[in-house]
Chains A and B, each alone.
Chain A
Amino acid sequence: AQTVTQSQPEMSVQEAETVTLSCTYDTSENNYYLFWYKQPPSRQMILVIRQEAYKQQNATENRFSVNFQKAAKSFSLKISDSQLGDTAMYFCARNFGNEKLTFGTGTRLTIIP
């Protein structure tokens, strides 16, 4: 089975600190897309960042960046200068283009004031 694994069920960090969420995946394909989604208490699914597997450069969106290691099949999310509004469930996901997303089980992140 081609799976997405998030090994950290819960994490907490002090406000303004940096935190890294881990994600690994299993695939035999060469072309695919990776995503991090945020689900705050409102339960809305919000796209945080995306990475195309064919791109070597790591994606960055403001305080959010990824460390994409294709050979290791690893896709971690780094949140810098964490804010209270970053408290949420974070899901790692993958697809192969115009197809379904396969999600990890999520990491519950709590930012402590």
Chain B
Amino acid sequence: DSGVTQTPKHLITATGQRVTLRCSPRSGDLSVYWYQQSLDQGLQFLIQYYNGEERAKGNILERFSAQQFPDLHSELNLSSLELGDSALYFCASSTPISGGYEQYFGPGTRLTVT
């Protein structure tokens, strides 16, 4: 168990809909990262938050948005869903306290858009 939690585990929805994925980082971790893993694209970085502030953006579509709340949990909002958004969405957290920058991953949310 990495200590990172994600809900829900599975999500099935229709095209055009909006969903929210939730992530709680490990206790004490300030950084939260979102990654998308699809069959043909591998693991792609979407966005990073650090202590409530957006820190970096990757290949995140304009239909997607995220935020990190004062208690450090994060939500990824996906709207106007398309079939191609079907993927496994991971949240990871880290903190450089120990001098290392390893990221610990949650179990992922499997999104299926029909």
Q: Give residues in A with beta carbon < 8 Å to B.
A: 33, 35, 37, 42-47, 50, 52, 91, 95, 97-103, 105-106
Contact = CB atoms under 8 A, between A and B. Distances in A.
A76 B35 CA distance: 24
Nearest to B4: A45
B109 to A, nearest CB: 11
A66 to B, nearest CB: 14
Interface string B84-98: 000010101010100
Given A43-B88, A44-B107, A45-B90, A98 B101 contact: yes
Nearest to A96: B101
B96 A100 contact: no
A26 B102 CA distance: 19
9 contacts: A33-B100, A35-B102, A37-B105, A43-B110, A45-B90, A50-B100, A101-B33, A101-B92, A105-B42
Contacts of B88: 43
B25 interface: no
A100 B56 contact: yes
B79 interface: no
Contacts of A100: 33, 45, 48, 56, 58
Contact of B105 (A44, A52, A97, A102): A44
A89 B57 CA distance: 26
Residue of A33, A45, A50 ringed by the most chain B CB atoms within 10 A: A45
A81 to B, nearest CB: 24
Contacts of A43: 88, 107-108, 110
Given A43-B88, A52-B100, A91 B43 contact: yes
A101 B100 CA distance: 13
